[in-house]
């Protein structure tokens, strides 16, 4: 490994790397402040290797600890590994340390053990030299004397230190009397530090009452088996504990304890492990989008379905905020849902929100969240499962709009019929008396033409008519529509921002689309005071033309936005609501779609999609 990680480290990943490795591997942590070494994880290959060298973990840790001071010169800020060779039981082996994470307080590294091949003659020379040296000095350790045939000093305490289980002894009050090396490692109490320490000092506050009950039952003569979380300086660890009464001369004098780390079932803290396990097929093939986020709403993991549903590579979402992809108008609703899950620690109700596709368009989703709790009961992350309901939402909206337009059409047809007949009569008499009404001619004709335009709009809503389609560049239609608002733009000092593609040909009735854009542009200008911004963006994606008209006006409330398109509803005191109804109808008749989003005091955005042509055909 050549890279030292920064930020937060996920030890679960490295536990898994160690356990699945075929090479003898250990995960270790060096405390810079306390100058202590802890072995966090050992795989089966490393255990077998140490057994071969007749080393227990305590002795091996001591060898590493002694070597660490000698290697301090090697572990510089810009270096990530060191290597040393050791001899044990006439066997030579090398240890390579690869640093994977470094902070001001701690350094985490992976250790790899590799056997060194040496000649048999060299092994014998090493053994003879070692034994002769000890004989000269008159010193043998208990282990060495045992190897040479003297078993008189073999003790039960040495045997207990060899075991992988933590063994300890508590007195009547619950204070530690003795413990083996494994218990020292798990508890973080080294040397004689454990003596006189009450077991409660190592527990979480919420676990102390339950453990006290188990201790009392054990002291009363019952063997107890339970799980408990140990609160150490190195972090939390869950243990399975057996308490056995310690009986001397028929009386219970204390409690023996045997403990080992518990293999925890997956509890959604790591969604990757679930995907890799029995839920892998379901998650990877589901059309729902599934994600794991931290408490602040940043992606930790995203399912494969993000690519086909939203167009995003799942791995590229990691670390980004979920809200950056959600429509601004839906931020409040999503944030309130997250806050409620933190407060109640229960899964949320279904929430409908909009999420941006990689192509820039928003899609509707219905999602539910589930909080993930830590061992202390605090919310640390969320799992969110959402389903794309865009098509269903569009069908519902289309049905509602069709019903509204049908009702409006019946009303419009009646109004148009009632107005058109007397209007025809008025125009006829006006022509007969034109000379007498000459001073008022322009005013009267303007009013009559305006009435006629309203009737035409009413008739367009009232009944569909055959569209005489032409091949037209939509950019020319937009430029022509802009001339109708040019004066107002200049008077209000509005900045016009045009972002147009090279060409956007489509089959259409140009005068109808011109009317659509005139209505939309006038609405945008009327919504702005001085020094606003009006932007028009036209791009072509495959065979679809995307048009976005956006202003920085007063915007609309969600209530107003929900009623847009209703017959004769308008937020303007002078408006009739007919213009927007016409826009929806014309776009629909041309095989397109139109949607509107708005935020109060921010502005309004109208998004239109129309079927385009590849190029203008030759006639």
What is 156-261's CATH topology? Answer: Beta-Lactamase (3.30.450)
Q: Which pLDDT band holds residue 408 (cuts at 50, 70, 90)?
A: low
- Report the pLDDT averaged over residues 350-365: 88
As a whole number, mean pLDDT of residues 278-285 equals 44
Q: Is pLDDT above 90 for 499?
A: yes
Quote the CA–CA distance of 485 and 500 in Å, as a whole number. 18
- Spans of all domains in the chain: 11-117, 156-261, 283-388, 467-619
Q: How confident is the model at residue 521, as a pLDDT?
A: 92
Contact in structure between 605 and 548 (CB atoms under 8 Å)? yes
**Residue 348 DSSP one-character state:** P
Q: Which long-range contacts (CB under 8 A, 24 or more apart) does 583-591 make?
A: 583/516, 583/519, 583/520, 584/401, 584/405, 585/405, 585/460, 585/461, 586/460, 586/509, 586/512, 586/513, 586/515, 586/516, 587/516, 589/464, 589/467, 589/512, 590/467, 590/506, 590/508, 590/509, 590/512, 590/513
pLDDT per residue as tens digits for the range 185-212 = 888 887 778 888 899 988 888 889 989 9
Whether 4 and 101 have beta carbons less than 8 Å apart is answered as yes
Kindly report, residue by residue over 74-118, the tens digit of the pLDDT: 444 445 567 778 877 777 888 888 777 777 778 888 888 886 644
Picking from 614, 471, 617, 478, the residue whose alpha carbon sits closest to that of residue 538 is 478
Given a contact cutoff of 8 angstroms between Cβ atoms, the answer to whether 270 and 381 are in contact is no
pLDDT at position 137 is 46
Give yes or no on whether 11-117 and 467-619 have one common fold: no
3-state helix, strand, coil in the chain (%, to 5): 40, 30, 30
Token pair of 524 as six digits: 């945008």
**pLDDT over threshold 60, residue 561:** yes
> Taking 80 as the threshold, does the pLDDT of residue 145 lie above it?
no
Give tens-digit pLDDT for 120-139: 444 444 444 444 444 444 44
Q: Give the pLDDT mean for 584-594.
A: 86
Put the strands of the sheet holding 544-551 in their side by side order: 495-500, 533-541, 544-551, 603-611, 593-599
Q: Please state, in angstroms and rounded to a whole number, the distance separating the CA atoms of residues 559 and 564.
A: 9
Quick one: which of 51, 109, 103 has its CA closest to 83? 109
- What's residue 139's pLDDT? 44
Phi and psi of 191, rounded to 5°? 65, -130
Residues 502-523: pLDDT tens digits? 889 999 988 889 889 988 998 8
CA atoms within 13 A on the CB side of 152: 2
For residue 590, give the 3-state DSSP assignment. Answer: coil
Label residue 270 by pLDDT band (50, 70, 90): very low
Average pLDDT over residues 560-571: 65
The closest alpha carbon to 536, from 585, 570, 494, 592, belongs to: 494
Query: Between 439 and 284, where is the model more confident?
Result: 439
Mean pLDDT, the chain, whole residue set = 75
Mean pLDDT to the nearest integer, 229-257: 80
pLDDT of residue 77: 42
Residue 233 has pLDDT above 70, yes or no: yes
Share of the chain above pLDDT 70, in %: 69
Residue 99 in contact with residue 27, Cβ under 8 Å? no
The pLDDT of residue 180 is above 90: no
**Which pLDDT score is estimated for 14?**
72
Non-local (6+) Cβ contacts of 404 within 8 A are 565, 566, 567
> Among the listed ranges 141-155, 333-347, 572-586, which one has the minimum average pLDDT value?
141-155
Question: Which of 98-102, 225-229, 275-279, 509-513 is predicted least confidently?
Answer: 275-279
Residue 412: name the closest of 475, 442, 456, 470 by CA. 456
Q: For residue 374, what are its two tokens?
A: 């830590």
Please report the pLDDT score of residue 148 as a whole number. 40
Segment among 77-91, 143-157, 441-455 with least mean pLDDT = 143-157
Q: Is the pLDDT of residue 232 over 50?
A: yes
- Which ranges of 241-305 would DSSP assign to H, the alpha helix? 271-276, 280-285
**Has residue 371 got a pLDDT over 80?**
yes
Please report the pLDDT score of residue 93 as a whole number: 81
**pLDDT at residue 266 is higher than 50:** no
Q: Is 48 exposed, middle or buried (0-12, 13-18, 19+ CB in 10 A)?
A: exposed
pLDDT band at 410 (very low <50, low <70, confident <90, very high): low
Q: Is residue 291 predicted with pLDDT exceeding 80?
A: yes
CATH homologous superfamily, domain 11-117: PAS domain (3.30.450.20)
Structure tokens at 200: 């409660």
Class of domain 283-388: alpha beta
CATH number of the domain at 467-619, out of 3.30.450.20, 1.10.1030.10, 3.30.565.10, 3.30.930.10?
3.30.565.10
* % the chain with pLDDT above 90: 11
Give the integer Cα–Cα distance in Å for 60 and 228: 28
Q: What pLDDT, on a 0 to 100 scale, did the predictor assign at position 271? A: 44
């Amino acid at each position: 490994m050549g890279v030292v990680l920064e930020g937060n480290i996920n030890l679960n990943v490295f536990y898994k790397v160690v356990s699945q490795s075929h090479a003898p591997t250990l995960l270790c942590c060096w405390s810079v402040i306390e100058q202590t070494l802890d072995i966090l994880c050992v795989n089966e290959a490393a255990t077998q290797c140490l057994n071969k060298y007749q080393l227990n973990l305590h002795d091996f840790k001591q060898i590493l600890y002694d070597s660490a001071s000698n290697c301090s010169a090697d572990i510089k800020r810009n270096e990530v590994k060191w290597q040393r060779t050791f001899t044990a039981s006439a066997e030579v082996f090398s240890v390579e340390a690869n640093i994977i994470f470094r902070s001001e307080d701690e350094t985490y590294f992976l250790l790899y053990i590799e056997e060194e091949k040496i000649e048999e003659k060299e092994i014998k020379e090493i053994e003879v030299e070692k034994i002769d040296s000890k004989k000269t000095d008159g010193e043998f350790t208990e282990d060495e004397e045992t190897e040479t045939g003297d078993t008189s000093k073999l003790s039960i305490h040495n045997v207990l230190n060899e075991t992988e289980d933590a063994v300890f002894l508590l007195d009547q009050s619950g204070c530690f009397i003795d413990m083996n090396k494994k218990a020292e490692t798990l508890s973080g109490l080294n040397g004689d530090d454990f003596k006189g320490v009450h077991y409660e000092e190592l527990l979480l506050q919420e676990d102390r009452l339950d453990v006290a009950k188990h201790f009392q039952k054990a002291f009363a003569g019952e063997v107890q088996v339970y799980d408990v979380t140990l609160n150490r300086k190195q972090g939390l660890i869950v243990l399975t504990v057996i308490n056995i009464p310690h009986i001397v001369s028929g009386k219970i004098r204390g409690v023996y304890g045997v403990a080992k780390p518990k293999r925890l079932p997956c509890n959604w803290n790591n969604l990757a492990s679930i995907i890799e396990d029995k839920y892998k097929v379901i998650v990877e093939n589901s059309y729902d989008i599934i994600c794991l986020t931290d408490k602040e709403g940043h992606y930790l993991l995203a399912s494969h379905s993000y690519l086909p549903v939203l167009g995003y590579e799942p791995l590229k979402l990691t670390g980004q905020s979920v809200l950056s992809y959600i429509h601004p108008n839906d931020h409040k609703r999503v944030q309130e849902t997250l806050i409620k899950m933190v407060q109640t620690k229960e899964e949320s109700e279904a929430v409908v929100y909009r999420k941006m596709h990689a192509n820039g368009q928003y899609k509707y989703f219905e999602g539910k969240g589930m909080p993930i709790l830590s061992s202390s009961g605090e919310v640390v992350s969320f799992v969110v499962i959402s389903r794309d309901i865009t098509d269903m939402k569009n069908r519902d909206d289309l049905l509602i709009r069709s019903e509204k337009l049908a009702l409006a059409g019946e009303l419009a047809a009646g109004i148009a019929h009632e107005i058109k007949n007397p209007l025809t009569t008025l125009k006829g008499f006006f022509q007969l008396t034109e000379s007498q009404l000459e001073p008022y001619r322009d005013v009267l004709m303007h009013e009559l033409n305006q009435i006629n335009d309203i009737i035409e709009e009413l008739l367009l809503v009232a009944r569909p008519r055959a569209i005489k389609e032409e091949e037209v560049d939509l950019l020319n239609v937009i430029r022509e529509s802009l001339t109708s608002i040019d004066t107002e733009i200049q008077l209000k000092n509005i900045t016009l921002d045009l972002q147009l593609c090279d060409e956007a040909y489509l089959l259409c009735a140009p005068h109808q689309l011109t009317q659509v854009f005139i209505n939309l542009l006038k609405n945008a200008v009327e919504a702005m005071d001085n020094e606003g911004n009006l932007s028009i963006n036209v791009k072509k994606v495959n065979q679809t033309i995307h048009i976005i008209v956006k202003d920085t006006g007063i915007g609309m409330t969600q209530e107003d936005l929900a009623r847009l398109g209703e017959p004769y509803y308008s937020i303007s005191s002078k408006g009739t609501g007919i213009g927007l109804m016409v826009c929806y109808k014309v776009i629909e008749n041309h095989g397109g779609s139109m949607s509107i989003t708005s935020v109060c005091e921010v502005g309004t955005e109208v998004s239109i999609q129309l079927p385009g042509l590849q190029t203008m055909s030759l006639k």
